[in-house]
Every structure is written in structure tokens, then in C-alpha cells.
């Protein structure tokens, strides 16, 4: 290849940068438009006979003499016609604010995230049960619930759900047995703990909250181990029945593994606890 005079190279670079083609030496673009023209004459464009002459005698050409109406290569014409912001960028740009909101929303969700059932249960216990049962369930006005005590009374979670829902008087008159009939120190009976009353929580907790606080007493205060497949993978790590079915329906009501209401209108269980094959962790 013959040496291209420096002033032509510079003119090429200036032209390219004026057209927004970036670095003057970009891919294969070393050829000046004048050199490229004879190889591929632009169809339809006014062919410039002077181009060939200019290419033949580049050394003779002085910058002042050639006020170039050079034919533009097709890629230059395309670059000129191109809109400054490509059309595909429009939806991308339009989506940016939406993405920002989603991103920030994701961050604040992590900070204020929905508590798990056990976390919610801890809050309820501290507010509504600890005054009588002690902050760690050691007992007081109410019976001790920690160290496996509540699990001895209720090896099956069903019985505990009902007892907390109904309280002492809802369970029956003084002396009504409740919980496991084979409890090691004898079955518990209502009003047998210094004659104190366990209040009913049917009016003050939702069924979802009942499950939360009962789980907290069993799993955290009393150390019940529940099967890993009974812990759901949703945000609340909700407890499931052993068959994998949810314990709460979409409206937050307790349901049996068959999907029917767990409590009847009086708050009594529709499914009887099985003390020999307990559900909900016996610790």
C-alpha cells in the first residue's frame, strides 16, 4: 500500500469525528472515502468522476483545491440517518424509574419484612401471655410452659390450640380434664393451678395469631422439634400439617389437613387430638 499523506489522514479523521463515527482509525476505516469510492460506487448517488482522479493523484491534491462533495459510503449515510437515541433504548429508558422503585422497594422490604410465624408468636406472647406465664414461660399466675412442660400436657398441638382459644371456663367447669390423659404427673384439670383462670383468647386473637403464639410456646419456650417438612418455605415459614397441607386457609382461618374448618362455631375442635401419634412436635 502506498503511503497516504498525513494531511489526508487528518482530513479523514476530522470527517469521521464530525460524523460521530468515533476514533479516526476504527475498523478498516483507514481508507479515505476517496479510496473506497472506486471499489463500491454508491448506487443511485451522484457518481463523482473526480473521485477516481483524486485517488489516482493523492499527492497532487492540495486541501484548498478539493472542497469535497465526496460520495458518502452507505455506512456513513446510515449513520447520518440514524436517530441519536436508538429506538430500542426507549423502553429501556422508560423502565428505569420503575426499576428504581422496585429496587428501593426490595430494600425496604428486607428491612421491615414480614415476621415469621415464630417471630410473630414471640411478640404476642410478650404482650398477652408473659404477665401470667413469665417472660420465658417459667410460670407465675399461669402454669409453667417451658422445659417441655406444655408439651407433656399437649403432645399434639391440636389440644393446645383449643385450650388457649377457649380458656379454662370454655374448656369446662372446674375440674374438667384437658390434654393428654396419660400425662406423667397426671392429666391436668381446669382451675387446678391455685384455682387461677386461663382467659379465653377467642375474642382477642385471630386464628392465625393463635397458631403463632402456640407455636412459640411449643417450639421456642418448650423446645419442640417439628419435622423440617412441616415448615413451609413462604416468608412466614408457616407450619404445615404432616401431609404438607397448610394449617391456615387464605382468609387466615385454621383448617384441618382435609381443608375443612378446624374449629366449630363454639370454638371446639372438629378433629380430635391423637395423643399417641402426636402432631406438631413432642420435643
The contact set with ligand HEC (CB under 6 A) reads 128-129, 131-133, 141-143, 145, 149-150, 153, 160, 163-164, 168, 188, 190-193, 196-199, 201, 213, 217
Cα distances (angstroms) measured from residue 271 to each of 62, 133, 229, 248: 102, 27, 21, 15
Alpha-carbon span 229 to 265, nearest angstrom: 31
Of 193 and 275, nearer to ligand HEC (C-beta) is 193
Alpha-carbon span 171 to 268, nearest angstrom: 9
3-state secondary structure (DSSP) of residue 111: helix
Of 217 and 219, nearer to ligand HEC (C-beta) is 217
Of 55 and 219, nearer to ligand HEC (C-beta) is 219
Are the C-beta atoms of 181 and 236 separated by less than 8 Å?
Answer: no
Question: What's the min distance (Å) between Cβ of 283 and ligand HEC?
Answer: 13
Question: What's the min distance (Å) between Cβ of 173 and ligand HEC?
Answer: 11
Question: What's the min distance (Å) between Cβ of 229 and ligand HEC?
Answer: 25
Of 51 and 156, nearer to ligand HEC (C-beta) is 156
Question: What's the min distance (Å) between Cβ of 178 and ligand HEC?
Answer: 7
**Rama region for 48: left / alpha / beta (φ>0; ψ in -120 to 50; rest):** beta
Alpha-carbon span 249 to 259, nearest angstrom: 8
Of 51 and 162, nearer to ligand HEC (C-beta) is 162
Alpha-carbon span 213 to 164, nearest angstrom: 9
Question: What's the min distance (Å) between Cβ of 270 and ligand HEC?
Answer: 20
Of 27 and 195, nearer to ligand HEC (C-beta) is 195
Q: What pairs with residue 240 in β-bridges? A: 246
The three cell numbers of residue 197 are: 383462670
Question: What's the min distance (Å) between Cβ of 149 and ligand HEC?
Answer: 6
Question: What's the min distance (Å) between Cβ of 277 and ligand HEC?
Answer: 20
Of 41 and 275, nearer to ligand HEC (C-beta) is 275
E-state strands within 66-214: 177-178, 188-189
Cα distances (angstroms) measured from residue 202 to each of 210, 255, 265: 9, 16, 11
Question: What's the min distance (Å) between Cβ of 256 and ligand HEC?
Answer: 20
C-alpha radius of gyration, the chain, whole number: 41
Please compute, for residue 154, the number of CA atoms within 13 A of its CA located in the half-sphere on the CB side: 26
Of 34 and 254, nearer to ligand HEC (C-beta) is 254
Which residues have C-beta within 8 Å of that of residue 26, sequence separation ≥ 6?
Answer: 16
Are the C-beta atoms of 180 and 154 separated by less than 8 Å?
Answer: yes
Amino acid at each position: 500500500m502506498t503511503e497516504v499523506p498525513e494531511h489526508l489522514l487528518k482530513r479523514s479523521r476530522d470527517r469521521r469525528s464530525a460524523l460521530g463515527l468515533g476514533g479516526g482509525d476504527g475498523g478498516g476505516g483507514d481508507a479515505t472515502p476517496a479510496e473506497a469510492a472506486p471499489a463500491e460506487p454508491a448506487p443511485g448517488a451522484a457518481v463523482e468522476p473526480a473521485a477516481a482522479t483524486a485517488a489516482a493523484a493523492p499527492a497532487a491534491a492540495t486541501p484548498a483545491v478539493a472542497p469535497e462533495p465526496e460520495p458518502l459510503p452507505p455506512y456513513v449515510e446510515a449513520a447520518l440517518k440514524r436517530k441519536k437515541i436508538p429506538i430500542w433504548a426507549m423502553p429501556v429508558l422508560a423502565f428505569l424509574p420503575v426499576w428504581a422503585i422496585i429496587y428501593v422497594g426490595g430494600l425496604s422490604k428486607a428491612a421491615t419484612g414480614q415476621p415469621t410465624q415464630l417471630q410473630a408468636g414471640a411478640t404476642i406472647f410478650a404482650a398477652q401471655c408473659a404477665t401470667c406465664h413469665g417472660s420465658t414461660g417459667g410460670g407465675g399466675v399461669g402454669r409453667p410452659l417451658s422445659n417441655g412442660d406444655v408439651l407433656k400436657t399437649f403432645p399434639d398441638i391440636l389440644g393446645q390450640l383449643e385450650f388457649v382459644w377457649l380458656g379454662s371456663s370454655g374448656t369446662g367447669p372446674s375440674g374438667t380434664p384437658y390434654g393428654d390423659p396419660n400425662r406423667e404427673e397426671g392429666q391436668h384439670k381446669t382451675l387446678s393451678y391455685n384455682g387461677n383462670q386461663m382467659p379465653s383468647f377467642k375474642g382477642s386473637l385471630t386464628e392465625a395469631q393463635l397458631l403463632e403464639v402456640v407455636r412459640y410456646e411449643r417450639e421456642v419456650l418448650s423446645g419442640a422439634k417439628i419435622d423440617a417438612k412441616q415448615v413451609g418455605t413462604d416468608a412466614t415459614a408457616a407450619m404445615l400439617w404432616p401431609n404438607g397441607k397448610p394449617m391456615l386457609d387464605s382468609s387466615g382461618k385454621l383448617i384441618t389437613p382435609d381443608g375443612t374448618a378446624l374449629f366449630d362455631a363454639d370454638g371446639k375442635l372438629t378433629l380430635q387430638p391423637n395423643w399417641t401419634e402426636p402432631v406438631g412436635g413432642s420435643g
